[in-house]
Amino acid sequence: IVRYRTAGVARFGRSHSFPNSRTETRIIMEYTNFAIAQINTTIGDFEGNVDKILGFARDAREQGADLVCFPELAVCGYPPQDLLERPAFIEANQEALEELTQRVEDIDILVGYAAPNPGEYGKRVHNSAALIKDGDVLSHYHKQLLPTYDVFDESRHFEPGDEITTIGLDNEIALTICEDIWNEPGHSSGHGQPRYERNPLGQVAETDAEVLVNLSASPFVRGKPEKRVRMIQDLAQKYDVTIVFANLVGGNDSLIFDGTSVAVDSQGNIIDQADSFREEVVVVSAEPETTVTASFQGRAESVYRGLTVGLRDYMGKCGFDEALVGLSGGMDSSLTATLAVDALGVSNVHGVLMPSEITSSESVEDAEELAENLGIDTRTFPIKELFKNYLQLFDEEFAGLEWDTTEENLQARIRGNILMALSNKYGHLLLTTGNKSELAVGYCTLYGDMTGGLAVISDVPKTMVYEVAEYRNTREHVIPRRVFEKPPTAELAPDQKDEDELPPYPILDEIIELYVEERMPPSAIAEEGFDPEVVDQVVRMIDLNEYKRQQAPIGLKVTSKSFTMGWRMPITQHFEG
């Protein structure tokens, strides 16, 4: 049955005029209230994912929704990567969809899953959306644009679709999945230039669709939530459609998903927006009386919240309850420990102090003050005698040779051994504390301070580390003020300062960003006002230390190009430029 109402109050979709009527009227489609279910799924946890989908579907129904939209690949979790090469995984995924179809009640759902490819050629599966209604799967949509840049490798596993699917009484709802809407000039994932010849939104424009639903798993990057919402607003206006965008939330390995799901009317007004970094159901009325203003956290806050979610989910989904952090009294370990407490709770974080003869009394005091402010327990293992024993062991071998990074690295490796012994004995996950600036130029020690199970801030440049720490201290003063004020130092040699060997961090971080994230050659970076010799020094250090990064623990991604699964550089190479 097609129902009509007078226009004017309705903002959901487009208005239609009907001949011989006294007032402008509009079609109210079968679904008068949409729900966005912004959920946190786990890869391969089919039972848990199905139960979660059903629970959020019930919540949406109780809030009056007719149709609830879940994120991309919600049934199997995102990104499943090479699990998609296992027939048993595909079979379990299909069985989970069938169970979901039988168990959902009194509400229709749109959900992402891996659909078997029935064709005679191509990849085994599609990245798909299924419409479940009254115990049946009524419609499918297969994602058309399969990203293969940065952290994405979807064309490795999925067969692309080639046409738009529409649903509803008059086919007024068009379905898309994530990347399908990221190919517009000015909004493309390809730095302004469309990456793909095909444009699914152009296909949508050829239909009678009034609403565009996008099931998404769009990872977090600093500044991306704002960019994403602005893009959706522009697309809604350009194509004269209401857009319902359902995004994933939570952490899976290196990737953090912020959610920030949104519904935008055809004028670009925001009907409603979900919070960032938490699960939520948002119900959007077909006749909204008001719109809202977009709301975003500051960049330091969003990075902090993202890292907290990424850390909590990595540990929880991998079966770890407690974490171990080496406390040096410096900024990096202070921020890492604070993140751990916020993510896991005070009782689940353990600090370890390992002072040497070189360690200043101020560093020990700052580490102890941090631990007291946070309320975490600490243990102290002085390494002075251990280090002396190592030096004696090499007395004859190194006779006549000067102190250098060899002796410095011995101290870091002694500490790494102590931390790993505690980690092994108690089953605590060791969190490494190195930042992106250090990892970029190799200012870190293999099997020393790089030792651990998760590199929490390895994609946070040093200058941003301070910004994020300042944000956290505005909520509650936990990181001692002196940690912000004293010069950064590894304290592996007397009177050592980071800037003795590196450019000042504000300069270093800008060069790293231009070279790593913006892909600018050294000559172009120098033209931005940097000393060419400094640029060449930094670029050379970045290139030469690839071997270290490929042996580093997994880290959480918060910048547009991190040294995680999205960074694929050869170790053995001679290219300069």
Query: What would the two tokens of residue 521 be?
Result: 């050659």
Instruction: Catalytic residue, from 178, 210, 491, 561: name it.
Output: 178
Question: What's CA 106's distance to the chain center, in Å?
Answer: 34
Whether 178 sits among the annotated catalytic residues: the reply is yes
CA separation (Å) from 291 to 127, 263, 264, 425, 464?
Answer: 33, 10, 9, 55, 34
Residues 374/337, Cβ–Cβ less than 8 Å = yes
Distance from first CA to last CA of the chain, Å, rounded?
65
Whether 444 sits among the annotated catalytic residues: the reply is no
How far is 527 from 43, CA to CA, in rounded Å? 45
- Residue 36 backbone dihedrals phi, psi, to 5 degrees: -105, 120
Instruction: Catalytic residue, from 30, 72, 154, 438: name it.
Output: 72
Spatial neighbors of 1 by CB under 8 A, at least 6 apart, are none
Whether 548 sits among the annotated catalytic residues: the reply is no
Closest CA to 554 of 378, 464, 431: 431
Instruction: Catalytic residue, from 52, 143, 436, 462: name it.
Output: 143
Residues 533/557, Cβ–Cβ less than 8 Å = no
CA separation (Å) from 369 to 32, 358, 549?
Answer: 56, 20, 32
Question: What's CA 19's distance to the chain center, in Å?
Answer: 51
- On the 0-12 / 13-18 / 19+ scale of CB atoms within 10 A, 543 is middle
Residues 465/335, Cβ–Cβ less than 8 Å = yes
Catalytic residue annotation: 72, 143, 178
